[in-house]
Amino acid sequence: MSDLADLSALAARERLTNGDISAAELTEALLGRIAAREPEIGAFAFLDPALARAAARRADDDHARGRPLRALHGLAIAVKDIIDTADMPTENGTVLDAGRHPGVDATIVHRLRQAGAIIIGKAVTTELAYFAPGKTRNPRDRERTPGGSSSGSAAAVAAGMVPLAVGTQTYGSVIRPASFCGVVGFKPTHGLIPRTGIRLLAAPLDTVGVFARTVVDAALIADALGGYDPADPDTRPLAPPLLLDAALRDAPATPRLAFVRTPAWDEAEPATKTALAGFAAALGKACAEVALPEVFDGWLSAHRTLMLAGMAHNLADYYRRGRDYLSDRLRAAVEDGMKIGAVDYLAALDLRAALTNELDRLFVDCDAIITPAAPGEAPRGLASTGNPVFAGLWTLCGVPAVTLPLLRGPDGMPIGIQVVGRRGEDASLLRTARWLSVTFTRSG
């Protein structure tokens, strides 16, 4: 039964729907994988096998009674431990929230349960989703970082403990760990997925994202999460896109791709530069190199302003009641955020709007951008979560991004190709990402 743990989410859903396997069998296989690998990986902040088994039995009872099967029927999912769960603690990666039981599900957890998913456990986050690492190790090499802040979510998928996981990104916290751990990471358009019941850092930047083994699996779970929530002002009262349908459809024509080095190119490792340039060249006429206008050079300062000011606001209570329990880096970030004035904050928002408009003009001539997901392979050592610089620009602009585990570095560790789409065109981006993944796999 251990091979069941290796099924993709879509393959598992098909077998569950057909009655070839039960939710209980699938859950037991995943719990077995967790028991085998969790001691060395440390992906979970909380795990209760009894809860998971009970949820699986309920799913099987529904099936036996002939009730309509829902989109995520019987699929086990790990949820980042800054996302509230009524039946599990949510401790936000800090001793200041030790033993915290919110009692109410976050909106996305409610949606997961409504879609038939089994919340198998809470995945490790860095301290308050910033930079101080948790206990998680990279499943590809336990002496390397898994990235952050969604470290446990990425590692749980990479280790085969779950087929799907949920994380968040304020800088690079989905794209970077997905690249380091060699899985698919999808950060949708800002505001597509609501954040009610999630520990925020900076509202203009915070975005819920997902981890999966394939692009279509990422689309499957994102479909269940997206849509308007009146409690989150950044969501919109519009019908969400049909992401899975789009990801499963073949592209009507060869996508037009732009290879963008970004202002952070000098921070990429030599092997990454060579691999990305080679990848772009292998795409032939489907890909052309495009330089971003000079105005993009100011993105890092704008991102820093919005992030630190947001942290000073959203983490003020932690700072007041327990600043001595915060890491030096987090405490310094909150203090720096307190010094940011309204004029600078508003200027950062203006620059964000200007950059988004520039990207809209770029996307007139291309369907997606390809760029590094991270500077290189996951760094050795566990004291840092690595550099998120290649994800931050796209987070600032609120555009959707997918990282595909298509390249390998000099040590054989994964390096992600980041594929970036136009704001609001998540469905088209996922279709392009699947085309890239299939095309490269066949040719590579």
Task: Provide the annotated active-site residues.
Answer: 80, 149, 173
Which helix or strand (DSSP H or E) is residue 417 part of? strand 414-420
Taking the C-alpha atoms of residue 193 and residue 242, their distance in angstroms, rounded to an integer, is 13
* Side chain identity, residue 282: A
Taking each helix axis from N to C terminus, what angle separates 299-314 and 342-362, rounded to the nearest 10 degrees? 130
Mode of pairing for the β-strands spanning 164-169 and 207-212 = antiparallel
Which helix or strand (DSSP H or E) is residue 121 part of? strand 118-123
DSSP three-state, residue 159: coil
Among 168, 159, 161, 163, residue whose Cα is nearest residue 186: 168
Residues with Cβ within 8 Å of 298's Cβ and at least 6 positions away in sequence, in order, are 351
Q: Would you state the torsion angle of the CA atoms of residues 335, 338, 344, 350, taken in this order, to the nearest 10 degrees? A: 90
Residues with Cβ within 8 Å of 217's Cβ and at least 6 positions away in sequence, in order, are 8, 9, 10, 163, 164, 184
Structure tokens at 45: 């902040």
